[in-house]
Amino acid sequence: MFLKEIKKTEIDGGFYGMVRVQLRLTLLKRGSGSSAHVNGFFEFQETSLMLSMRKQAVLFGLFIFSFSLQTHHSELQAEDWPQFRGPNCSGVSTAKNPLPVEFDDQKNVIWSAKLGDGIGCPVVAAGRVFTSGMVGKDKVGLYAFDAETGKKLWERVWKTGDLLEIHKTNSFAATTPAADDERVYFYFSTLGMLAVDAETGADVWEQKLPVPYFVFKWGAGMSPTLYKDLVLFCQDDDLAPAFYAFNKKTGKIVWKDDRSDQAVNYSHPVICETDKGDEIVVAGTGKLIGYDPQTGKRLWSARTLLRNIKTTPVSRDGIIYVALQSGGIANQWLASIDRWETGNSDGKVTKEEIQAFVGKTKVPEAFYKKTFDRGDLNKDGALEGKELDIAFLPPGNEAGAKFGEEPAQQFVLAVKGGGRGDVTKTHLLWKHPTKHTDHIVSPLVTEDRMFLVKGGGISTCFEVEKGKKIWGPKRIQNESEYFASPIYGDGKIYVAGENGKIVVLEDGPEQKILAKNDMGDSILGTPAIADGRIFIRTRGKLICVGEK
């Protein structure tokens, strides 16, 4: 069911001897069994004895209406999928609506809409679906659809200006909007953070931000997330990494954390509820960091991570669960720059090789000052050996494998929130090396299990209490690269591959494959779940599937 509007309390009565207090929420069709259906009526036959009760009835009705609104607000939050990976970036829908097992680009499709290239995820709020897409090569669009019918409600198109080259797998429309019932919040690298009216698409506010720079051409991929009256946005790039909190209504920067101790990361903030209050937790270079939501002050850090992280942790019951994979920085630079077709494979990295790799766009001098010049200890114009670690890892935060060490490292781990200062020794609950994590796909935590999938279609399941493996590695019968993260709803896990196939598994202590569904187009964005439907963003379409 999708909430469209709340009608004011209707009060009829008087001359015709009838008082009716009608409390009504106007709703679109929802699957049976929904607890959110509210339609209360209080009727009073007006007699001489009842006249004195009219005022009391009206007041009672207004009280119930107010209570219904409060009840609906919490249910709306539970039903919505308002940001990247849904509620608290968890990938979990707690709604009880049945979800389809078998579907494809024709079967069980409720509606679909053609869009320009994009790999951002769809989000759902207050009966509307929002997603983005490129319009040609120099414009980006933000779109709103009616979640039930697929009717396009509005679209906004902006000129992007000049765009830096990105990896062919990526898209310039790679970010996911965030939304509530009033506004949609959207980030684009050259535009900054934008807020538009959710109903009309009209401008509300904009906040210019530094255009991010990525020497390896990974491109912008971070998205806004929501917490109470804040819009949160963390951008760890190669020039000016920072974590921002904006006021939802005005766009004013409430606080900003300078993350110059971080290298490039793509990990979204999550909320950790602790006995000491809520904390915002962000993973990064070497550290998991807990922030005060009101001030942006760093409350604690756990030195448990690697050189960089592209997965987003899961926070549940005061514990943060992380799965990550990262190579050593020295090996990454040698492999990408020195041993690439533009390098000379001499075991050294020079500015000329970096520029040749980047191409026509001039590498900013600010990047060299921050990295290369710091690492070139003997000032010979080349980085080799340990100089690579010093150059491309922030001082005092040389996380992950060093030069000469085995570069590939993978871990699953759990950290308890609520600490203060360095909590590495006090709040790390468990940490295990593994070969089964992915460097992009985030973990999924359901019941007492953590589910992982990695490139090639390999799944593994761990129990969350101590990190012990339950099963895996096992194939999920879809050999593909994976960029979308798994999601959960109605007792099922949905895993979308880049090849456009979505595997449906039963959530349980053993792997059980229920279906493999071909959507006919590449999928890199994580699907959304809301009100018994799954919203899937392929590179060229937005598709809504559900049981018919």
Return the minimum-mean-pLDDT range out of 96-100, 279-283, 328-332, 508-512.
328-332
Domain check: are 445 and 296 in the same one? yes
419-474 pLDDT, tens digit per residue, is 999 999 999 999 999 999 999 999 999 999 999 999 999 999 999 999 999 999 99
**First-to-last C-alpha distance (Å) of the chain:** 14
Identify the pLDDT of residue 4: 33
Kindly report the average pLDDT of the chain as a whole number.
87
Do the beta carbons of residue 142 and residue 160 sit within 8 Å?
no
Ramachandran region, residue 54 (left: φ > 0; alpha: ψ -120 to 50; beta: rest): alpha
Question: For residue 360, what are the domain limits?
Answer: 329-392
**pLDDT at residue 266 greater than cutoff 80:** yes
Q: Residue 316: inside a domain, yes or no?
A: yes
Identify the pLDDT of residue 196: 99
Among 43, 60, 79, residue at a domain's last position: 79
Domain check: are 227 and 93 in the same one? yes
**pLDDT at residue 53 greater than cutoff 50:** no
d(CA 23, CA 65): 6
Identify the pLDDT of residue 545: 99
Beta strands in 222-327 (DSSP E): 225-227, 230-235, 242-247, 253-258, 270-274, 277-283, 288-291, 298-302, 314-316, 319-326
Q: Residue 35: inside a domain, yes or no?
A: yes
Q: Residue 401: inside a domain, yes or no?
A: no
Domain check: are 346 and 315 in the same one? no
Domain check: are 306 and 230 in the same one? yes
d(CA 424, CA 287): 9
**pLDDT at residue 537 greater than cutoff 80:** yes
Domain check: are 511 and 475 in the same one? yes
**pLDDT at residue 57 greater than cutoff 60:** no
Number of domains the chain contains = 3
Q: Residue 403: inside a domain, yes or no?
A: no
141-170 pLDDT, tens digit per residue, is 999 999 999 999 999 999 999 998 898 889
Place of tokens 């290298």: 263
Work out the angle at residue 486's Cα, subtended by the Cα atoms of residues 484 and 492, and round it to the nearest 5 degrees: 145
Identify the pLDDT of residue 66: 41
Identify the pLDDT of residue 78: 46
d(CA 247, CA 231): 6
Nearest to 187 by CA among 259, 257, 265, 244: 244
Identify the pLDDT of residue 397: 79
| Band (528; pLDDT cuts 50, 70, 90) | very high
Q: Residue 92: inside a domain, yes or no?
A: yes
Strand partners, 270: 281
**pLDDT at residue 279 greater than cutoff 50:** yes
Helix (H), strand (E) at residue 329: helix 329-333
472-497 pLDDT, tens digit per residue, is 999 999 999 999 999 999 999 999 99
Question: Could you count the other beta carbons within 10 Å of the beta carbon of residue 432?
Answer: 14
Identify the pLDDT of residue 52: 43
302-322 pLDDT, tens digit per residue, is 999 988 899 999 999 999 999
2-27 pLDDT, tens digit per residue, is 333 333 333 233 322 333 233 333 33
d(CA 479, CA 389): 35
Domain check: are 19 and 142 in the same one? no
Among 19, 51, 79, residue at a domain's last position: 79
Contacts of 496 (CB under 8 A, 6+ apart): 482, 484, 502, 519, 523, 526, 527, 536
Q: Residue 441: inside a domain, yes or no?
A: yes
Q: Residue 215: inside a domain, yes or no?
A: yes
Do the beta carbons of residue 264 and residue 392 sit within 8 Å?
no
d(CA 406, CA 147): 49
| Band (338; pLDDT cuts 50, 70, 90) | confident
Domain check: are 311 and 378 in the same one? no
Identify the pLDDT of residue 413: 98
Nearest to 428 by CA among 312, 242, 547, 302: 302
Domain check: are 386 and 413 in the same one? no
- Residue bearing the bigger pLDDT, 244 or 398: 244
Domain check: are 313 and 370 in the same one? no
Do the beta carbons of residue 192 and residue 208 sit within 8 Å?
yes
Domain check: are 169 and 288 in the same one? yes
Among 29, 53, 79, residue at a domain's last position: 79
Identify the pLDDT of residue 370: 93
Contacts of 243 (CB under 8 A, 6+ apart): 232, 233, 234, 235, 256, 257, 259, 269, 282, 291, 296
| Band (241; pLDDT cuts 50, 70, 90) | very high
Q: Residue 22: inside a domain, yes or no?
A: yes
Q: What is the CATH number of the domain that holds 182?
A: 2.130.10.10
Domain check: are 203 and 316 in the same one? yes
| Band (72; pLDDT cuts 50, 70, 90) | very low
Please tell me the number of Cα atoms within 13 Å of 546 on its side-chain side: 22
User: Residue 452 corresponds to which amino acid?
Assistant: L
**pLDDT at residue 77 greater than cutoff 80:** no
Nearest to 327 by CA among 437, 413, 439: 439
Identify the pLDDT of residue 336: 86
- Residue bearing the bigger pLDDT, 335 or 340: 335
Please state the length of the chain: 548
- Residue bearing the bigger pLDDT, 117 or 22: 117
Domain check: are 287 and 269 in the same one? yes
Q: Which two tokens stand for residue 526?
A: 């994580």
Q: What is the CATH number of the domain that holds 372?
A: 1.10.238
**pLDDT at residue 335 greater than cutoff 90:** no
**pLDDT at residue 540 greater than cutoff 90:** yes
d(CA 530, CA 28): 14
